[in-house]
Chains A and B, each alone.
Chain A
């Protein structure tokens, strides 16, 4: 699975959780918080993406995530 594919999955879920956003708003450099996601929204994006990608990442590892790119990288390491 490429990072691009993982990014597309994350993006899709960000748009599901935050339906007011436009697709172009979601970039690898951006953060979920800046896009308006609250703490549970962010956790939802993570669980939904893990399910779509068929991955399991321990909850503690998400502490290192600071933007969408680092989220994609973490998911990629477990793919």
Chain B
């Protein structure tokens, strides 16, 4: 196997870890809600067990060690010796977070995280406090065997049960990170074993088949062991091996052997023969091949007969189906594709859309009549292109669930840090959003959640005094709305203390002391740069990152954020985001014979510019008087250096929103159309261009800049424009 292939398998393991962590968190949430069943506990246990098993295969000792200790406590939970009390579940949540840290560290090949020991000790403390097995339970059988290649096995005392286990790995067993040796070791941990290797008579030394398992094993296990104990060891490989477990007595019976033989005879089965303690015998070419006349009914060499055992058993063991089990990777309904490939496809589809637009324009310019075959075909082509584009965009879409689960951790950690009781409730976590949007939403969302815990939710004492439950609730929801994604963070806290916000804003010189602000305007002060500082908030949210940075990050994603708050009831932050960053709804405008695109998300309204609407402030600055408001006015042509500011007739203004909630008006020559454009980044080749977000290619093949109105109208001095004698 090449290093690349190994890297791929390792990457698959970590992807599986993420999936297992997701199911682990889901199950813990069910336990936390008090709705857990035995199966819920099993899900938690299996997730940790699987992570440990895979980690062992890759030699990730620290991860194995942590998972093992967690698994040991979970085993107590599974055996019913430990109750899933809220306190215990909270600790399990914390341990799951630490487990995630270990996985991340292993994935990035960093040193194992130092945290976690205190949580593990606390969990192990629960285990010690839990009642031990009742003394009268003389026939008590320990459950929840765990195998751990890195740690000492616990062994059972010799008993009377004797089992014969026939085991032959498929290629998928090794490919999925499992290892026959570890399984054999785990079996040895259950009791006394005698292992016999089954070696094909002609074992090829061939690189082409080097990764194709050809060995099988028959293990005789003696000990105080149930079949369930043995099966548990094979829990995660049942689909990738031939397996038969039968009491030794039954295995000695001829029919049982046939069953075993059938189970182990896949179409590509290599005839086995016993090699009891000697490869020399196994390599004896006198052995008949499986297809020789000497082969038994099931297609296996007679040497597959089990080792001598008492032969007076009555009932044969049930035979397993003869057909080979499907390998999990063959049956999987999903495939994992490198993101670069998807991005290349997205880019190609973008090119296709542009070409289709150019073709449409060419056909129109050629004077083609309506309802001709060409025009009809072109229309169908356009619809297909749109469908393909939507389909490709959906490939990049992912549910927000993992992001929301990360936020659950933030809530747990943040609430512990400030001694508050907070529960995160999530809604719509299957809502799908572009992967990049999800990635870039993580930081702002984390900060907002921390803020909600820190500032939104009151202390338990204050909540109780206000007649609320001691535990606060933060609801994080996602939904699709009007072609965008709406994410809301809603807390049931005290609401924004507007008087205090206003005082802080005045103290920091953000507003005048006598400024008349509406409630919404006061709320929006939170987003002003310089409002939040470390000295003013707790160590939790005061990390030098204000809500202004949060808003800027969301705006950079083409999103908008709004606040609604009601004293005593709570605060809601609403984030509206585009579904994808690959296309954008824009308004195509013309300025000084240049075609430009203004993102529709930033446009409030458009209007015809009249001279009466213009007010001059100072020597050069002008504002637009519109519906009682004064809005800074910018001549886009002059602002971008296309021409000197000038007066002209028949011009229009586009009213845009800024990051701080303020507005600005851009003067353009004409509005051409509203359309979806494919975004082409400029930063890789040109770096950051002030006022320009990206570019696109229009139907006529020309490049049009996509503007960043907030950046255009933010801080640099306004270019003077002449008094505009406009009318209408």
Q: Report whether chain A binds chain B.
A: no
